[in-house]
Structures are given as C-alpha cells and as structure tokens.
Structure 1
Amino acid sequence: MKNARLYRRDDSVDCSPGGGSDTFFGLRVASVFIILATSMFGALFPVLARRSPRISPLIPHRVFETAKYFGSGVIIATAFIHLLDPATDELTSPCLSPAWQEYPYALAIALCSIFMIFILELVAFRWGTAKLAKLGITHDAHGHGVGGHAAHGPEGAKSEETSAVQEKYDIDLEAEAIAAAKNGAVVENPTAQIIGVAILEFGVLLHSVLIGLTLAVDEEFKVLFIVIIFHQMFEGLGVGSRLAYLKLPQNYRFAPIVGALLYGITTPIGIAVGLGVRTTYNPNTATASIVSGVLDAFSAGILIYTGLVELMAHEFLFNKEMQNASNKKLAYAIGCMMLGAGLMALLGKWA
C-alpha cells in the first residue's frame, strides 16, 4: 500500500515558480572551475597515462587494472543509488499531481531504457559483424581486442615482444586485424567498442548536467559541493578507465580523449547554466521534478545495462583472460569493483 502522504502536497516543500538559493554565490562560481579540474583529472589521467611512453612504463599494470575494476563498481552504484532512487523521489514529489503516484513511472522509464539500449547494441552488433564478415574476419561477441587472446604463430610471438604502448596505440589495429584474419584470429569491431562507450557516456553526461544544475541552486551547497567533488572524480575515474582500455585503430585514436573531455566539462556547464537561471529555476517545481526524474530514470537504465552486461558479464564471465586467471586475481578484481561500488553508494547518503 502506497504511503498516503505522497498523495497530498507537502506545505514544507516550495513548489512555486521562482529561484533557488542564492547564498555563497562566490563559492558557487568557483565550484565551476574546481569541479572542472577534478572531473578532468579523473577522466583524463587514465587515458593519458596509459598511452604516454613516459608515464605508462612508470605505473604498474596492476594500477590500471585496479582503476578499471574500481570504476566499474562506481558506475554500477551510480545507476542504482545516484540515479534510480532520486528518479523515484522526483516522480513521486508532493509537487506533482496524484496521478504520478499511481504507477512506478521511474522504474518503467528505466525498464524501457534498458530494452532500448539492448536493441541499439544488437543492431550495431549485427551490422558490425556483417561488415567484418565481408573482410573475412570473425567477430567474437565476448572478445576483447585483436585475436581475442587467441592469436597463434609469429604474429602472436611478436606482439608479446612489443611494448605495451606501441602494441596498443602505435599499430594500426584495422590493418593488423585484416592480416590476423588470415591466421583465423578473432577481432572486436572498433565501431562496436565506440558505441558501447558512447552509450555509457550518454548516461553519465545526462546525470552530470543535472548534478551541476542542482549544485548551482541547492540550499545545502557546502555539503553537496564537497560530496560532488569526490563523486565526479570517482565517476570520472570509472569512465576514464573504460576509455583507456579501448583498443582502436589510429583513425579512432582521438575518441578516448574526446570522451574524457566531454565528461569533464558537463557538470561545470550545468553549474554555469544553473547560476545563470538561479533567479527563476526552482528544482522543486513540478516541471523541474518531471524533467529531472525522467532523465535520471532514463540514465539509470543506460548505466544498469552497461554496468551489468558490459562491465560485469563481459569482463568476468566472457573474458578469456579472466576465465584463465587465478582465483587470487579474480578475487582481487571483484574486490576492487565492490570497493568502488561501496564508496559510491556511501556518497549517496549525502548526495
């Protein structure tokens, strides 16, 4: 039985049009640049460090793997704690009409989002597989990179002797894929990889803009500001670590950097927009609650699908490297992911 208080308008909630809080204006302006710096650092550092010939050899491979699995946990927790739960609150706001309380709209929107993303990826996969088939290349749906860790012969031996930086970024993977196909190797379509990360980014970016708008006008600015600094850095680390592990040919080499930059600027843009409309924008109004709730629910569906399918199933169940890994390595990877999810879920207590 639904709580009866949801069916009446709570007088303590300001549902009328008008501006949000205008306190700490100087600090709110400064937050644009502070969060820009922390978001950029979280998203760009894994990408630049892993491809830099000077920095990459100085950082153990275990550090990059830790960041990748930690980031996966962050993204999964973001979907449930920072998106789905707020969406439910927003779409059951006392500012909305009783009709909004009669059905779990937030869950329904997230469900539709999951199926939409699934169909989009299915179509992209079938198209990419057909394209590769024309080149005589086999595509493994659960493969990770050229050869899917299954290449044999001289090419495989040579790649082991090549440095990690040259192997991942200096070789044109499309040309290598065509050559490897002659030996029956398996490859992963670069377009499919980009679509997968683009879906993840889309969900995160919608969330980041809404965070910025809220921070610009929220009354509890100081607490929210501190929490969002860590929130954006952790989430940026999750996105950046996924971008850093993309195996792309030279003509797609710019994609991870563009993705990291987009993540870095979205929350500051949201804050700037919120400051610009602070005298008229009230996040508690019915319109604001509906827009925010729908976008949060839609983003939640995207990140739930991406987190459970791309980050958990593909990385642990279908990844040949993880299938052959020791129990110690598997436990470490799962522990890192759970740590990321736990810390991000803990931040949900304040934001």
Structure 2
Amino acid sequence: MSDESLNCGSGGGDDTHLNLRVAAVFVILIGSSSGALFPIFAKRSSWLHLPKSIFDFAKYFGSGVIIATAFIHLLSPGLDALSNPCLSEGWSEYPYALALCLLSIFMIFIVELIAFRWGTAKLSAIGKSHDAHGHSLGSHAAHGPETNFDPKLSSKKESSSDIEASGHEDHGFEDTMTTQIIGVAILEFGVVLHSVLIGLTLAVAENFKVLFVVLVFHQTFEGLGIGSRLAHLDLPGKYRWLPFAGAVLYGLTTPIGIAAGLGVRTTYNPDSTTASIVSGVLDSFSAGILVYTGLVELLAHEFLFNKEMMNASNGKLAYALGSMCLGCALMALLGKWA
C-alpha cells in the first residue's frame, strides 16, 4: 500500500510519544483554563489589585487573538481540508470553505439582528431605550444594549405602583442580560468547536512535539481572549457563575478532544476523506463566527462605535491598538506551526 493511499484511507494516526500525548491532556487543561479564568478573577477579585492598564491589555490582546484565530487557524485549515485531493471532484468545483464561512457570518448577523430587535421592543415597552452600537456608554454589542431612562416616557409611568415599576425594571435587566449572554455564547461556540478539533489532531498528529508546544501557547492566548469577553458580562448575583462556567467549558474542550483522539488513535486518520470533510466544514463555519465577532463586536464596537475610546488620548488609543496588534501578530505567527 502506497503512502498516498494510506493517507487517504481510514488507517490510524501516529502512535508515538503516547505518554507525552497523555500528559498533554493535563498541560493544556491547565494552560487553557488559566488563560480563560484569569481575566474573570482579575475583574472580580479585590485581592489581585491589578492596574486597569493590565486588564485592558488582556482585553485588547485577546481581541487580536480571536481575529487571528478566525483567519489563520480556522479559515486557512478549512480551505486546505476541503481542497484535499482525497475528496471527490465535486469538492473542487466550488469554494465550499469560503461559502460556509459566508453562510456562518450571515447566520450570526441575523441571529443578533433578531435578538436586538426583540430586546429593543421589550425595553421600549417599559419606557427604556438602548443603543445597539454602544455609542452612549462605549460597550460593544456582545455586552448587550445599553439602557437609559427616557424622561418623557418615565414621567408617564410615575403613577404606576412601585411593584409594577420594579417588575418593569427586572424585565428590562433580564432582556439586557439575555442579549449579553447571546453575544458571548456565539463567540464561545465558535471557539469550542475549534478547540475540540485541534485536540483530536494533536492526539494523532505526526509532528506531535512541535504541535504540542505551539498549542499550549495557542490555547492559553485564545483562553485569554474568551475570558476577557466573559469577564465583562454584567450579571446579577444569581447568574455570576455563568462566566466561570464558560471559562471552565473552554478549558475542558481541547483536553476532551485529545482524550477522544487517543481513544480512537488506531482507527482515526486526520487525513482521511471523512475527517477532512468534517474538520473542513466545522473549521469554515467556526471561522465565520469568529470573523463576525472579531471584526464587528470587537474591532468596530471597541473602537469606532466606542465614545470613550474615540475621545481617549492618543496614548490610550495607541496602547489599545498596540495590545490588539500584538495579540493578532503572536497568534498569526503560531499559525506557521499549527
């Protein structure tokens, strides 16, 4: 059997360095969990006493990581997988990876559009309004609509009972909270899909040592990105566990992928026809999620539609841009090996 036929078949992946592959489950679990949990603890802990500049660095650095992940670590592998010569000729007749990415972008846009229209209608009904672009207070859409009282509408409500007014405010806050969670959940969904796939790949890849070292940094940086978004969720006390749950979920996905890959290492071949199609489709779809989130929710809403940032000093703006570019550059550099 030739190397080419084996590569396109269903034979197992590389089975060397088994002990180190098992250790990778725990090393990457610690790295990815630490990256995701650190911004949340830094935001909410009084004993860490981190300067705001450090937290801002983590936030903008993470935004750059997410953008680079979308293009370098998701869209590019998706294109490679769906152009694999092992696939039937039909896969080469159309750029399916780019089409799936485009479909994903529009699906996420429509979901958020519906969510904001629903949230706007709910808030308007109780005498509140929000700026979907975050012009007023500088938060991006993933953090939810910003609420403020309309004096004219508020005055009409003054005759209502305190109980009714309290109920209205509760509903308004719940609508805002729901929109926040939707935005961050979309981001995490794309990242989690990607993390499971790279865990599977690491478990059976031939160039394991290089890939292992790169993925430790990859998952830590990516965790920093998702963690900085989770840290900004403004939730009431009974929901304060949600950001921690999101960080833990992210930390577990790659180790679960590695463990699953080790379990099927004798039969799973990452270069087989089925594996190429599955990974190509999921990578391309996840790329669309992160492209939309990175460019719209993070770049546009953190800078162009952020009144605080637009009025900030040149030094603060340069610091934020530099942090974002550094995160993007480092993550893009890692794409040379993984």
Question: Aligning the two structures, in what range does the TM-score lie when normalised by the shorter sequence?
Answer: 0.7 to 0.9
> Match of 1:64, as an amino acid?
F
Pairing of 1:2-21 with structure 2 (within 5 A) = 11=4, 14-21=7-14
For 2:133 and 2:239, how far apart are their aligned partners in 1?
21
Say which SS state the counterpart of residue 11 (structure 1) adopts. Answer: helix
Identical aligned residues as a percent: 68
Match for residue 36 of structure 1? 29
Deviation at 1:142, TM superposition (A): 2.0
Shift of the 21–350 alpha-carbon distance from structure 1 to 2, 3 Å rule, reads: same
Match for residue 73 of structure 1? 64
Deviation at 1:250, TM superposition (A): 2.2
Match for residue 111 of structure 2? 120
CA deviation vs aligned residue, 1:141-189 (integer Å, no higher than 9, x gap): 02227995989xxxxxxxxxxxxxxxxxxxxxx97x949x9xxxx9981
Deviation at 1:135, TM superposition (A): 2.3
Q: TM-score, normalised by structure 2?
A: 0.88
Say which SS state the counterpart of residue 65 (structure 2) adopts. Answer: helix
Deviation at 1:321, TM superposition (A): 1.1
> Match of 1:71, as an amino acid?
G
Structure 1 window deviating more from structure 2 (254-263 vs 187-196): it is 187-196
Are 1:136 and 2:127 an aligned pair?
yes
8 Å contact kept, 2:62–2:327: yes
CA deviation vs aligned residue, 1:19-54 (integer Å, no higher than 9, x gap): 101000011011001100001000001101210122
Shift of the 138–187 alpha-carbon distance from structure 1 to 2, 3 Å rule, reads: farther
Shift of the 233–146 alpha-carbon distance from structure 1 to 2, 3 Å rule, reads: closer
Are 1:46 and 2:46 an aligned pair?
no
> Match of 1:107, as an amino acid?
L
For 1:204 and 1:123, how far apart are their aligned partners in 2?
23
> Match of 2:313, as an amino acid?
S
Match for residue 245 of structure 1? 232
8 Å contact kept, 1:137–1:178: no
Are 1:26 and 2:19 an aligned pair?
yes
Say which SS state the counterpart of residue 54 (structure 1) adopts. Answer: coil
For 1:341 and 1:192, how far apart are their aligned partners in 2?
27
CA deviation vs aligned residue, 1:72-109 (integer Å, no higher than 9, x gap): 00000000000000000000001111221111110000
CA deviation vs aligned residue, 1:188-241 (integer Å, no higher than 9, x gap): 811111100000000000000000000000010000000000000000001101
Pairing of 1:262-341 with structure 2 (within 5 A) = 262-341=249-328
For the aligned residue pairs, the C-alpha RMSD in angstroms reads 2.5
For 1:85 and 1:17, how far apart are their aligned partners in 2?
24
For 1:101 and 1:306, how far apart are their aligned partners in 2?
29
Structure 1 window deviating more from structure 2 (264-273 vs 330-339): it is 330-339
Match for residue 168 of structure 1? none
Match for residue 99 of structure 1? 90
Match for residue 219 of structure 1? 206
Shift of the 217–134 alpha-carbon distance from structure 1 to 2, 3 Å rule, reads: same
For 2:147 and 2:179, how far apart are their aligned partners in 1?
18
Match for residue 192 of structure 2? 205
Structure 1, unaligned runs of 5 or more: 1-8, 152-173
Where do 4+ consecutive residues of structure 1 move more than 4 Å? 145-151
> Match of 2:9, as an amino acid?
S
8 Å contact kept, 1:141–1:188: no
8 Å contact kept, 1:32–1:271: yes
Match for residue 80 of structure 2? 89
8 Å contact kept, 1:148–1:188: no
Q: TM-score, normalised by structure 1?
A: 0.85
Say which SS state the counterpart of residue 224 (structure 1) adopts. Answer: helix
8 Å contact kept, 2:184–2:230: yes
Count of matched residue positions in the alignment of Structure 1 and Structure 2: 315
Structure 2, unaligned runs of 5 or more: 150-164
Deviation at 1:276, TM superposition (A): 0.4
Shift of the 97–71 alpha-carbon distance from structure 1 to 2, 3 Å rule, reads: same
Match for residue 166 of structure 1? none
